[in-house]
Amino acid sequence: MRLHDLKPRPGAKHRRKRLGSGESSGHGKTSGRGGKGQSARSGSSIRIGFEGGQMPLIRRMPKRGFNNAEFKTSYHAVNLDALNAFDDGTVVDEALLRKVGLANGPGLGNGKAVRVKVLARGELKKRLTVRAAAFSSAAKAAIEKLGGTAEVAA
């Protein structure tokens, strides 16, 4: 196969809509713009939500309630089966998890703090000391069952 043999998949390419090419084409006369009015004029574009000068719906609706999303605490989930990558007796903390790539994304240094939470999916086979911001109760029990420790880091 060579470059000149490559073709787009059937249905991926469309012919350009040829406007203003006679009545019988289906795109003649007003060229798909309807009758008169603002949208029939050249250079016309109306922003989303514009209602012709009438007070838009979004501004007519009352604004009520409370939103605390800006101050929400978010967590990276790290499952128990992922912790099997470490050797017995290792102290696994957030810095090590980020270095290995198990808790990628924004951290405590930049903008919003995203902490690490250990969840209980999978089976842990190593005895580890795990330091994280949070643990599910099942994950904590599984770590301590093997003789490891689950420490909540501040």
Task: Grade residue 112 by pLDDT with cuts at 50, 70 and 90.
Answer: low
> What is the Cα–Cα distance from 133 to 111, expressed in whole angstroms?
17
pLDDT at 51: 93
Which stretch of DSSP H or E encloses residue 122? none
| Contact criterion met (CB below 8 Å) for 95 and 130 | no
Judge whether residue 53 has pLDDT over 60.
yes
Q: Is the pLDDT of residue 107 over 70?
A: no
Q: 116 exposed, middle or buried (CB, 10 Å; 0-12, 13-18, 19+)?
A: buried
- Domains, in order of start, for the chain: 18-64 (no CATH), 72-152 (3.100.10.10)
Q: What span, in angstroms and rounded, lies between the C-alpha atoms of 76 and 59?
A: 37
b/e 56-80 (16+ beta carbons within 10 angstroms → b): eeeeeeeeeeeeeeeeeeebbebbb
Q: Is the pLDDT of residue 34 over 60?
A: yes
Query: Structure pTM?
Result: 0.57
